[in-house]
């Protein structure tokens, strides 16, 4: 069995990832979110649900203890969140982190709205964790799985990505966490 915690489990992409992961017998899911009533999945009876705030270090550390994989699907003060996540993972010996950032965080000049996304990526890259940072393009609701990735340092491609594609990629990394270790990937729909 593999233990996976989703931070920000009420988020849009998290919802789709949960829908895929609850069907997998070898995964134990913990859903960490500020308010359990905001959870929109109706198939989570087998999941452990923890109400907590990522900015509350003690709550976070307790929830992360014993997990194999942390998947962070967050918004807000991402730098402070990333610092807490890295510290909690270091102190509990959890290595694998999947963190959703954004397209454009290495652009010069950096758009102010993207500063927290960039700072969070910087914090994570300075850690010893087995992280995978994802930098998706703009989300669509298209019912399709069609994506490609670019590595850090390569020009980002495309302008859109379906939420379903991003959720599929995240699920694959959770299934095969030995892939994309210490990678920082752009994710886009080809030719978009």
Ligand X SMILES: NC(=O)c1ccc[n+]([C@@H]2O[C@H](COP(=O)([O-])OP(=O)(O)OC[C@H]3O[C@@H](n4cnc5c(N)ncnc54)[C@H](OP(=O)(O)O)[C@@H]3O)[C@@H](O)[C@H]2O)c1
Contact in structure between 80 and 15 (CB atoms under 8 Å): no
Q: Where are the alpha helices (DSSP H) in the chain?
A: 12-21, 57-64, 78-92, 115-125, 163-175
Nearest distance in Å: CB 58, ligand X: 13
Nearest distance in Å: CB 8, ligand X: 3
Q: Phi/psi of residue 174, each to 5°?
A: -65, -40
Could you tell me where the beta strands, DSSP code E, fall in the chain?
A: 2-7, 27-33, 48-51, 69-72, 96-100, 130-136, 138-140, 148-150, 160-162, 183-188
Report the interface residues with ligand X, using CB under 6 A.
Answer: 8, 10-14, 33-35, 38, 53-55, 73-76, 100, 102-103, 136, 138-139
Nearest distance in Å: CB 104, ligand X: 8
Pick between residue 35 and residue 191 the one whose CB is nearest to ligand X.
35
Nearest distance in Å: CB 188, ligand X: 10
Pick between residue 73 and residue 127 the one whose CB is nearest to ligand X.
73
Contact in structure between 135 and 59 (CB atoms under 8 Å): no
Closest residue by beta carbon to ligand X: 11
Pick between residue 38 and residue 172 the one whose CB is nearest to ligand X.
38
Give the β-pairing of 183-188 and 130-136. parallel
Pick between residue 18 and residue 27 the one whose CB is nearest to ligand X.
18
Nearest distance in Å: CB 101, ligand X: 7
Tell me how far apart the alpha carbons of residues 74 and 141 are, in angstroms, rounded to a whole number: 19
Pick between residue 94 and residue 134 the one whose CB is nearest to ligand X.
134
Per the listing, tokens 């307790």 go with: 62
């Amino acid at each position: 069995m593999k233990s996976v915690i989703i931070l920000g489990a009420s988020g849009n992409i998290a919802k789709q990832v949960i829908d895929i992961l609850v069907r997998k017998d070898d995964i134990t899911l913990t859903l960490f979110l500020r308010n359990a009533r905001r959870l929109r999945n109706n198939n989570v009876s087998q999941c452990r649900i923890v109400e907590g705030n990522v900015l509350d270090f003690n709550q976070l550390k307790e929830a992360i203890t014993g997990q194999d994989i942390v998947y962070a699907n967050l918004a807000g003060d991402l730098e402070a969140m990333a610092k807490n996540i890295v510290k909690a993972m270091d102190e509990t010996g959890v290595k694998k982190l999947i963190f959703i950032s954004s397209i454009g965080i290495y652009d010069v000049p950096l758009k102010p709205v993207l500063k927290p996304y960039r700072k969070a990526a910087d914090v994570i890259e300075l850690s010893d964790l087995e992280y995978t940072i994802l930098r998706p393009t703009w989300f669509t609701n298209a019912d399709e799985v069609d994506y490609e990735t670019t590595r850090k340092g390569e020009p980002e491609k495309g302008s859109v990505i379906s939420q379903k594609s991003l959720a599929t990629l995240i699920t694959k990394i959770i299934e095969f966490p030995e892939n994309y270790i210490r990678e920082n990937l752009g994710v886009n729909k080809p030719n978009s």
